[in-house]
Amino acid sequence: MLAISTRTLFLNAGLANFAIVPVSLFFTNEAITREDPFFDAKGCALIVLWGVVYIATSGVAETSPLLCLAFTLEKAIYVIHYLRTASVHRRRALAGKATLRRTLAALFFATYGVADALFGVGFAVTGWRALMRGASV
């Protein structure tokens, strides 16, 4: 079984969210927005903000089950969106001329849901362990 510290989990989740910056070409990649308005410049900025929050709370998350629940629910929203739109994104990614913007968009749409699911499970496990240790909600 893979064992990582809570701090490492939350730091990696934050850093993973920062990946939207280069992928979105600093929030200017219209191929992402055109493909899915959920990820317009504001949406991408909010993803970065969530990353900042994961990093900022990495030292206290294992004592705060409600915080972990909030993070788990946030990740669930993205995973559900991913599952509902993944087949459409795959079809569109294969059509048309390959450009840097389209390639980055295709890479993002192929991976974000899997990463969010893994981090969401990690957040849920962290929250569950906090509850089992008697952390207050």
Rounded to whole angstroms, the Cα distance separating 20 from 112 reads: 9
Buried/exposed 41-67: b ≥16 CB within 10 Å, e otherwise: eebbeebbebbebbbebbeebbebbeb
> pTM for the whole thing?
0.87
Q: For 57-73, write each residue's pLDDT tens digit.
A: 999 998 999 999 999 99
**Of the ranges 15-19, 60-64, 89-93, which one carries the lowest mean pLDDT score?**
89-93
